[in-house]
């Protein structure tokens, strides 16, 4: 419910993000592809999750409103076939809204296991068949453009014959020649591909490059078959994953890909969690993101990838401050009885949007108001002697005081009372 006790949002926050586009329009719906369970597991640092954890992560993706999830590459062997089969069974029996996809090289031996799983469980699986397209990849592999075209046409035709939707993926699209891309996309679409995917496989692209390439691809696709959709798949090598994905959507992409915590090959893929929050704040999606922290923590625990304290949105410090000036503003907002205001006065992301709350700590940069607020939050009477003792301890410290340290001071000043963290 909207809190009407404060002035209108437009009166309190001048949004330069919307200065040139008054409403940040995004008319086609944004589609999301979560690659955590396939592309994300290519990271050299991850531990492959158990099937139980994969299913838990899958349900969290569904709760967040993710449209499709890549659940594996069955052509990699029986162990992948086993897990993919169990995941497809889960989707079929639990009534998930989320739809499955599987990765494949543009060869029949990768595509046929997907066909078999689809037929066994009666679930349509979108095939994501990929092949390298850049000159540098062609040179390294000793591939001719004619060979790539032949493999493309054979792979797409096989999917079409078997009745499976197919997305044609050109690896390293962002370093590929337009003449080659025109030939490859045209061949794939004429053979029956329902989507084409523009890939920044090595994280090469800048936003300007994304805008140019996605716009060019949309124009080409619209010329050949306007019903075919365009995907964007980005990596983080230059730290541009999120902004490149947003730029791709602005330029006309229908669906963008990401992984939880940005896990993936080398330094990873576009972080799905950060992408979701930015899309929500732009008004391009309207999803319930309260499961986002659990989604990220579950992926962290399942893969062994640490969730650092300063990780955006879901890290321990995302909505936590020990600075006096910052805390004072939050406290004043709460004294107005206005949680909406308290959640935004020193935060560009509202904590409540992802099921969290602003937290005020006591440390060397704190003011006495931090101490009074901490005591109030823990149900402890804030007498002047106690406030002074905690404040002085904080000033002597080189870090934020722990709850146990503050409680120890409280017990020392009020030994007859039983104190505990509420």
Least confident of 9-13, 53-57, 143-147, 325-329: 9-13
Asked if pLDDT for residue 27 goes beyond 80, the answer is no
| Number of CB atoms found within 10 A of residue 177's CB | 13
Asked if pLDDT for residue 416 goes beyond 50, the answer is no
Name every residue whose Cβ is closer than 8 Å to that of residue 237 and which is 6 or more positions away in sequence.
Answer: 202, 203, 204, 266, 267
What is the model's pLDDT at position 2? 44
Positive/negative CA dihedral, 9, 15, 20, 23: negative
Q: What is the pTM of this model?
A: 0.92
Asked if pLDDT for residue 24 goes beyond 60, the answer is no
Asked if pLDDT for residue 3 goes beyond 60, the answer is no
| Number of CB atoms found within 10 A of residue 235's CB | 27
Region for residue 140 given its phi and psi (left: phi exceeds 0; alpha: psi -120 to 50; beta: otherwise): alpha
Higher pLDDT, 319 or 21: 319
Q: pLDDT band for position 25 (50/70/90)?
A: low
Q: What's the CA gap between 101 and 88, in Å, rounded?
A: 10
| Domain boundaries defined on the chain | 28-303, 320-413
Q: What is the mean pLDDT of residues 255-282?
A: 97
Asked if pLDDT for residue 22 goes beyond 90, the answer is no
* CATH class for the domain made up of 28-303: alpha beta
**274-296 per-position pLDDT tens digit:** 999 999 999 999 999 999 999 99
**68-82 per-position pLDDT tens digit:** 999 999 999 999 999
| Number of CB atoms found within 10 A of residue 147's CB | 13
Q: pLDDT band for position 422 (50/70/90)?
A: very low
Q: pLDDT band for position 105 (50/70/90)?
A: very high
Asked if pLDDT for residue 60 goes beyond 90, the answer is yes
Angstrom CA distances, 197 to 149, 166, 168, 397, stand at 16, 11, 6, 53
């Amino acid at each position: 419910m909207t809190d009407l006790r404060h002035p209108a949002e437009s009166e309190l926050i001048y949004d330069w993000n919307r200065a040139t586009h008054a409403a940040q329009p995004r008319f086609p719906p944004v589609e999301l592809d979560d690659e955590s369970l396939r592309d994300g597991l290519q990271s050299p640092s991850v531990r492959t999750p158990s099937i139980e954890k994969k299913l838990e992560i899958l349900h969290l993706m569904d709760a967040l409103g993710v449209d499709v999830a890549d659940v594996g590459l069955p052509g990699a062997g029986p162990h992948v076939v086993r897990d993919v089969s169990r995941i497809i069974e889960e989707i079929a029996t639990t009534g998930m809204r989320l739809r499955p996809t599987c990765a494949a090289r543009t060869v029949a031996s990768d595509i046929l296991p997907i066909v078999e799983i689809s037929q066994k469980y009666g679930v349509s699986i979108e095939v994501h068949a990929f092949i390298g397209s850049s000159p540098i990849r062609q040179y390294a592999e000793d591939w001719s453009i004619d060979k790539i075209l032949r493999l493309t046409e054979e792979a797409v035709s096989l999917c079409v014959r078997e009745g499976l939707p197919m997305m044609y993926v050109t690896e390293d699209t962002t370093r590929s020649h337009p003449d080659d891309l025109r030939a490859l996309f045209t061949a794939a679409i004429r053979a029956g591909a329902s989507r084409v995917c523009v890939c920044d496989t090595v994280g090469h692209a800048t936003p300007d490059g994304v805008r140019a390439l996605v716009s060019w691809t949309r124009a080409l696709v619209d010329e050949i078959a306007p019903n075919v959709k365009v995907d964007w798949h980005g990596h983080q090598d230059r730290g541009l994953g999120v902004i490149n994905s947003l730029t791709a959507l602005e330029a006309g992409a229908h669906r963008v890909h990401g992984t939880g915590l940005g896990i993936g090959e080398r330094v990873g893929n576009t972080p799905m969690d950060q992408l979701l929050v930015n899309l929500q704040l732009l008004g391009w999606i309207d999803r319930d993101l309260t499961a986002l922290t659990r989604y990220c923590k579950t992926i962290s625990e399942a893969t062994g990838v640490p969730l650092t304290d300063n990780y955006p949105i879901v890290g321990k410090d995302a909505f936590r401050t020990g600075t006096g000036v910052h805390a004072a503003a939050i406290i004043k907002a709460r004294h107005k009885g206005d949680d909406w205001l308290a959640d935004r006065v020193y935060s560009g992301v509202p904590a409540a949007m992802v099921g969290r709350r602003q937290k005020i700590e006591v440390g060397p940069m704190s003011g006495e108001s931090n101490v009074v607020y901490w005591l109030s939050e823990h149900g402890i009477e804030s007498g002047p002697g106690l406030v002074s003792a905690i404040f002085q301890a904080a000033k002597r410290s080189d870090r934020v005081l722990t709850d146990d340290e503050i409680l120890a001071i409280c017990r020392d000043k009020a030994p007859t009372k039983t104190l505990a963290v509420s």
